[in-house]
Structure formats: structure tokens, C-alpha cells
Amino acid sequence: MTATVAIALSVNGELVEANVLPRLNLADFLREHLKLTGTHVGCEHGVCGACTVRVNGDIVRSCLMLAVQANKAAIETIEGLSDSGEIADLQSAFRERNALQCGFCTPGMLIAAQDLLKQSSCPDREQIREHLSGNYCRCTGYQAIIDAIEATARSRAGRLS
């Protein structure tokens, strides 16, 4: 029998304490233990970006991070960003421009897009493409996603002026 490890972390602003197997990845912990199923698991190799979450403010592939590595960290999932309203304008832009399609990649795309918009208030289309290069979408061809992010950046910039 494998021994478990006690962890304590903040997930979407709430303290979570659990005993986990040492090899349990963060994506599976979020999905199976906390029932936060917005974090999708696509490739399990860190290539597709569907499992993107924020850990202490930085975006990471949760399929590549062990839950024990997240001990004492602050984790933000798509559910937390959506519930807080932080990405409401991005969500609307994705919906309006049909950047959702099947929706499997959408949570990771939204987190990556929000990360970009925090770093650069008005990224150009090439910067958007570059920042999303680790997030795969098999349905949209990316054009609608880039359009949605660009429109959100422009809208936010207009509110700042």
C-alpha cells in the first residue's frame, strides 16, 4: 500500500486540505477530488494546454504538475476565474465570435488569453498567436479565438483611456 501525503492549498480562494498519493497529478486532483471538471485532460503530456490553470499567478500545465508540488500554493481554475467575473468579457467575446466550437480547449484558451492580457494590454495578432502556441484547438482554426482576444484587448484598452 502506497502512503499518502498531506497537502494544503488554496483553490479558487478556498483552503483545501487532502491526503493524496505522491504520483497524483494536479489535473486529476482538481477533477477527481475537488470535482472541478473545467480543467480538461487532453494529452497528459503538457502539449495541448487543455489542463491549463494558474499556480501562484503563473499559468502551468496541471497534467505535468504533481498535486504534492502544489502544497501551499494558490491555484486558480477556470471555475474560479469565471465565478469572479475576471474573464467575463473574454467569455462573451469567445461566444460572440464562435470561438468555442466543441469547447474542449476553451478553458485552457481562456486562462492563457487572460494571462496574455495581463502581460500586454494591447497585443497584436502575432503576439496572440505566439502566446497561444501551447494551446491546441482542433475545431476553430484559431482565427475566431484570435479575433475574440484581440477584440477584448481593444475593448479593455478603450476603457482605460
- What is the rounded CA–CA span in Å between residue 152 and residue 110? 11
The yes-or-no verdict on residue 156 having pLDDT over 60 is yes
Task: Give the residue from 13, 48, 81 where a domain finishes.
Answer: 81
Three-class HEC string of 26-76: HHHHHHHHCCCCCCCCCCCCCCCCCCEEEECCEEEECCCCEHHHHCCCEEE
Domain that holds residue 49: 5-81
pTM of the full structure: 0.91
User: What confidence category does residue 112 fall into, taking pLDDT thresholds of 50, 70 and 90?
Assistant: very high
Tell me what pLDDT residue 160 has: 59
- The answer on 65 and 30 residing in a single domain is yes
The CATH number given to whatever domain includes residue 50 is 3.10.20.30
Task: Give the residue from 49, 81, 113 where a domain finishes.
Answer: 81
The CA-based angle 143-147-148, given to 5 degrees, is 120
How many structural domains compose the chain? 2
Looking at the chain, the whole-number percentage of residues with pLDDT higher than 70 is: 98
- What is the rounded CA–CA span in Å between residue 25 and residue 30? 9
- The answer on 124 and 140 residing in a single domain is yes
The CATH number given to whatever domain includes residue 156 is 1.10.150.120
- The answer on 110 and 74 residing in a single domain is no
